[in-house]
Structure 1
Amino acid sequence: MANAVSATPTDGASAPCGAISSTHLVLIPSYNPGVKLQDTLRTARAHWAPVWVIVDGSTDGSADWLRARAAEDAGLRVVILPENRGKGAAVLHGVELAAAEGFTHALTMDSDGQHPAELIPKFMHASHAAPEAMVLGVPQFGAEAPRIRVLGRKISNGWANLETLGAGIVDSLFGFRVYPIQPLIRVMRHQRFMRRFDFDPEAAVRLAWAGVPLVNLPAPVRYFSADEGGVSHFKYLRDNTLLTWMHTRLFLGFLLRLPILVGRRLLSSTRNSS
């Protein structure tokens, strides 16, 4: 079982556009993101380098715009997948490329403007302070957030903490987070799931099972209306069915791992009391 790690990051850990980090990169899986892509990328690049965008078979012309932008920006890399494989598959492709080039951590975020790109330095600072940990964003919802989505998150979060014996995952679904790359690759290569919408919650649970500690940091999330350029690929029946199947699998996996998780908890308690 993973243990939560305390961190009090500041906003000062930034890799400005002229200085490219050799260990931490921003990884943005992107599928038909809409007009908010430009603002997202502009803000991300203002706060960090390098930024990689994995175009997951987009058909909206965004790949062409990204190619043109990357040709003028040494801190931006665009990788184009020929067909839509799902968010998790796009992230896995990106982190495998990153690992081959020596990167150790990846901050993942959405391309549609919902995630706060201005907080990239804060999350990267927390990762530098606790490099063994995953840094999980805790969404702070505005009044525009769909109520059914907010309630659905509470259910998923409850299952995630049951499945990890209370590891401290405050939000299992929010995709603005920093992963240590090698542990993430290991858990994804060992099974065929985590390739689509189920990626974020299953990654948090499986990394906790692997003993990866976690840091929780608050981050605002914005749901844009269609008039504001918002794009949603969430399909209520399809994706909730996927999440239900995912939590069924994870709960069965939790039962099999329960003796190990309890043993870790007892060992951790013994160490903390000594």
Structure 2
Amino acid sequence: MSTPTASTTHLVLIPSYNPGVKVEETVRGARAQWDPVWVVVDGSTDGSAERLQAMAADDPGLHVIVLPTNRGKGSAVLAGMQAAAARGFTHVLTMDSDGQHPAGLIPRFMAASQADPEAMVLGVPKFDASAPQLRVQGRRLSNFFADFETLWAGIGDSLYGFRVYPIAPLVSIMERQSWMRRFDFDPEAAVRLCWAGVRPIQIEAPVRYFGAHEGGVSHFNYARDNLLLSWMHLRLVAGFGVRLPYLVAKKVLR
């Protein structure tokens, strides 16, 4: 297998918290497609940090950042982006560490970003029979609100975390406010980037849910995380009201 040519602008960024046995397979799959790959270990207590550091010791294309305590997905991505920007990178492709996202599509997403670097490239999930129907149906409400909050700017799916972000505008947004640090990161990032004028590009991508017998791990809590999403959309709707004249004018001019 040929080794990917190292990019100086785009990297794969994998936030990881107690990911289970799939994490090494996920990282190897990403490394087969791209160089470099960074993993941000978000205070994991399952021994995965040590295993990933051992992998990185033998692979110059793999970099592992270990956060001492669990801060949430958004915080892990922010820490990774700040470190990446300090090294001159301009874009990150985020993907989950549990094997749900399609590593084989990394080159396609990166190529779309490189062709239009001012845009964000958002995955639109294609679910198979492994997807829990309650979550598949439930995400439609979040998607509706994200569309409403951006006047249907083209987000597609607000919750799918397989996407390419331009670092500078997203870091700027996150450093100005204290939200977007946990499970609410993905939808709020897409909405606020749209507000900032970052155009979304949609690409379909499959998603696979693994059962516990397959090594799958889920940290999703229906009550806690749906409350978190509800509070997030309340904030965004309030912000939408303030920005409505600007969003309407931009849509008309377009």
Q: TM-score range by the shorter chain?
A: over 0.9
Find out whether 1:88 has 2:74 as its counterpart: yes
Q: Which residue of 2 aligns with 1:196?
A: 182
Q: Distance in 2 between matches of 1:17 and 1:84?
A: 33
**What is the TM-score when the length of structure 2 is the normalising length?**
0.98
Q: CA deviation at 1:17?
A: 3.0
Amino acid at match of 2:29: T
Contact 2:4 2:33 in 1 (8 A): no
Q: Distance in 1 between matches of 2:55 and 2:134?
A: 37
Unmatched 5+ stretches in structure 2: none
Q: Distance in 2 between matches of 1:267 and 1:192?
A: 32
**Residue in structure 2 matching 1:230, options 216, 235, 238:** 216
**What is the TM-score when the length of structure 1 is the normalising length?**
0.91
Q: Which residue of 1 aligns with 2:52?
A: 66
Amino acid at match of 1:30: S
Q: Deviations over 1:172-200 (max 9, x none)?
A: 00000000000110111111000000000
Q: Deviations over 1:117-173 (max 9, x none)?
A: 111001001001111000000000001110110011111000000000110111000
The 3 A distance-change label for structure 1 pair 44 and 244 is same
Q: Which residue of 2 aligns with 1:44?
A: 30
Q: CA deviation at 1:19?
A: 2.2
Q: Distance in 2 between matches of 1:19 and 1:77?
A: 16
**Residue in structure 2 matching 1:107, options 93, 103, 109:** 93
Query: Match of 1:230, SS?
Result: coil
Query: Match of 2:40, SS?
Result: strand
Contact 2:4 2:32 in 1 (8 A): no
Q: Which residue of 2 aligns with 1:8?
A: none
Find out whether 1:78 has 2:40 as its counterpart: no
Q: Distance in 2 between matches of 1:205 and 1:120?
A: 23
Amino acid at match of 1:224: F
Query: Match of 1:26, SS?
Result: strand
Q: Distance in 1 between matches of 2:61 and 2:98?
A: 20
**Residue in structure 1 matching 2:153, options 164, 167, 182:** 167
Contact 1:17 1:75 in 2 (8 A): no
Q: Distance in 1 between matches of 2:130 and 2:40?
A: 28
Find out whether 1:207 has 2:193 as its counterpart: yes
Q: Which residue of 1 aligns with 2:247?
A: 261
Q: Which residue of 1 aligns with 2:120?
A: 134
Contact 1:131 1:180 in 2 (8 A): yes
Q: Distance in 1 between matches of 2:35 and 2:52?
A: 16
Q: Which 4+ stretches in 1 moved above 2 angstroms?
A: 16-19
Q: Which residue of 2 aligns with 1:248?
A: 234
Query: Match of 1:166, SS?
Result: coil
Q: Distance in 2 between matches of 1:17 and 1:126?
A: 21
Contact 2:13 2:40 in 1 (8 A): yes
Query: Match of 1:54, SS?
Result: strand
Find out whether 1:97 has 2:97 as its counterpart: no
Indicate the percent of aligned positions where both proteins have the same amino acid. 67
Larger relative contact order (Cα-Cα within 8 Å, sequence gap ≥ 6): 1
Contact 1:30 1:110 in 2 (8 A): yes
Q: CA deviation at 1:18?
A: 5.2
- Residues 175-194 of structure 1 mapped to structure 2, 5 A cutoff: 175-194=161-180
Q: Distance in 2 between matches of 1:198 and 1:79?
A: 22
Amino acid at match of 2:213: D
Q: Distance in 2 between matches of 1:189 and 1:208?
A: 17
How large is the RMSD of aligned CA atoms in angstroms?
A: 0.7
Q: CA deviation at 1:230?
A: 0.3
